[in-house]
Amino acid sequence: MQQAATYQTLSVAVFPRDTILRNALLVGAAVVFIALAAQVTWNYPFIETRAGNPVPITGQTFAILVTGALLGSRLGTLAVFAYLVAGVAGAPVFADWSRYYTTFAGATGGYLLGFLPAAFIVGWFAERGWDKSGWFILVMLAANAVIYVPGLIWLNRWLAIMNFPVDTFEAGLWPFVPGDLAKLIAASLVLPVGWSIVRVLRSEPPSP
């Protein structure tokens, strides 16, 4: 069976030398990027439920998808894993500068775990050239949906344990669709724009 072609990710195009130092710096920068994006939070009046706002709206999803696309499946997933480990170890990297394993025991624990496969999926497709096309938004849409699978399962159990008679989709899905769509559009545009800049700097012709 013929193996799918593998292309450079944007980070490899900008930093072509594959060294331990380069990879460590890229992973470290991605952890900082995700941590800062997690602090970008906002609330809509209509998302208030009888359980309050157990799942905040943050810039994390945007950062996770962009990280996977920039670094690829291997480094992107490693960066997300390093981010989660840093938070469990005590670094204030989660939303509202929260930290420690107790964050995983809360309402958002499943979403945090869903970041790992999402970064891998986006990175895998980026390694096959999808990040150079506007159709990359479909990949990011699929990856975003993957985040919701463990997120909603975990949230459902959390609401039951906390005895909150709130619908799981009401607390953890429907209110986030508009914001997620906006983040997906923004994230899907970052990569083609980045590749355009690289081609201009290298004086390369645009992709067909």
The domain of 38 spans 10-202
Residue 47 pLDDT class (50, 70, 90 cuts): very low
Domain for residue 60, yes or no? Answer: yes
Domain for residue 192, yes or no? Answer: yes
Domain for residue 5, yes or no? Answer: no
Please say if the pLDDT value at position 56 is more than 80: no
Please say if the pLDDT value at position 130 is more than 50: yes
Return the structure tokens found at 137.
């938004």
pLDDT tens column, 9-43: 999 888 988 899 999 999 999 999 999 999 988 76
**In terms of C-beta density within 10 A (0-12 exposed, 13-18 middle, 19 or more buried), how is residue 141 classed?**
middle
- Cite the DSSP H helix spans in the chain: 10-14, 20-38, 60-89, 102-105, 109-126, 136-161, 168-172, 177-202
Question: What is the Rg, in whole angstroms, of the alpha carbon atoms belonging to the chain?
Answer: 18
Q: Which residue carries 């997620």 as its tokens?
A: 180
Query: What is the pLDDT at residue 3?
Result: 47
- How far apart CA 145 and CA 147 sit, in angstroms, is 5
The answer to whether 60 and 114 have CB atoms below 8 angstroms apart is no
Domain for residue 207, yes or no? Answer: no
- How far apart CA 203 and CA 109 sit, in angstroms, is 45
Task: Report CA-CA distances (Å) from 132 to 48, 80, 108, 109, 149.
Answer: 38, 22, 32, 32, 27
Domain count, the chain: 1
pLDDT tens column, 74-119: 999 999 999 999 999 999 999 888 877 778 888 889 999 999 999 9
**In terms of C-beta density within 10 A (0-12 exposed, 13-18 middle, 19 or more buried), how is residue 196 classed?**
middle
Taking each helix axis from N to C end, the angle separating 177-202 and 136-161, rounded to the nearest 10 degrees, works out to 150
Domain for residue 198, yes or no? Answer: yes
Residue 171 pLDDT class (50, 70, 90 cuts): confident
- Say whether 12 sits in a helix, a strand or coil: helix
CATH number, domain with residue 92: 1.10.1760.20
Return the structure tokens found at 206.
């645009």
